[in-house]
Amino acid sequence: MAEEITKILITDDDPDVRELLMEAVLSWGYQAAVAKDGEEALARLRMEKFNIVITDLMMPRMDGMALLQRINELDAEIQVVMITGYATIETALKAIQSGAYDYIAKPFRLDELMVVIKKACEWRRIISQNKELLNELRAAYAEIIQLKANIGESQPVAASAPGAVRDALNAVSFSRDSADIYKQQEYIREADRLIKNKFALKA
């Protein structure tokens, strides 16, 4: 499968900032588009698929916080990087608690932004990979249920399945904490291995 090309939407009401960030993002090998405010950004997100949104916090019509909330409702896998002034650091931290991947305080260097974008890309890849693993685990569990129905076992398969499997299916939630998400990835892989070994399913 070909590697997905990262598309970044730059949202800022300052045309000079939009142009600067657009040139930088393109030079780093990403695809990019621009929007002048939150409403325009949201309209583009409804028409096109973007992986990352870089947005200013203070904008007319729809600010960065309102845009972040709408993005979370539209596609929670989109990683949002907030740009903020020194006077609004507290608000930026609140944005992270609300689902933003990270923030950068003005003034900032372009190389700082480049590092944040790379990390956001990796974070999105891990989240997508975890979702794929969970789907595989659910498919294996469904196969067990079907196997039980076919052979008419007297004991419920769910009761004999590894506890890790039941926990993974019932309690998995994707955290934004890096330690949690790596642990979760190992947890899902181990549950998948246990369930396949126990019931001799194809890996």
pLDDT of residue 154 exceeding 50, the answer is: no
How far from each other are the two terminal CA atoms of the chain, in whole angstroms?
Answer: 20
Predicted local confidence at residue 106, as pLDDT: 84
CA-derived radius of gyration, the chain: 21
> How far apart are the C-alpha atoms of 158 and 146, rounded to whole Å?
11
Contacts of 70 (CB under 8 A, 6+ apart): 38, 42, 62
Contacts of 91 (CB under 8 A, 6+ apart): 57, 65, 84
At 97, the pLDDT band (50, 70, 90 cuts) reads confident
Give yes or no for a contact between 68 and 42, defined as CB atoms under 8 angstroms apart: no
Contacts of 48 (CB under 8 A, 6+ apart): 7, 33
| Helix/strand/coil for 103 | strand
Q: What is the average pLDDT value for the chain, to the nearest integer?
A: 78
Amino acid letter, 186: E
CATH number of 7-108: 3.40.50.2300
- For 113-141, what is each residue's pLDDT tens digit? 999 999 998 888 877 777 777 777 777 76
Chain CA centroid to CA 7, Å: 14
Predicted local confidence at residue 90, as pLDDT: 78
pLDDT of residue 86 exceeding 80, the answer is: no
| Helix/strand/coil for 200 | coil
Q: Where are the domains of the chain?
A: 7-108, 128-199
Quickly count: other Cβ atoms within 10 Å of residue 67's Cβ. 27
Among 44-48, 85-89, 193-197, where is mean pLDDT lowest?
A: 193-197
- For 18-44, what is each residue's pLDDT tens digit? 999 999 999 999 999 999 999 999 999
Predicted local confidence at residue 136, as pLDDT: 74
pTM of the model: 0.67
Predicted local confidence at residue 152, as pLDDT: 58
pLDDT of residue 149 exceeding 80, the answer is: no
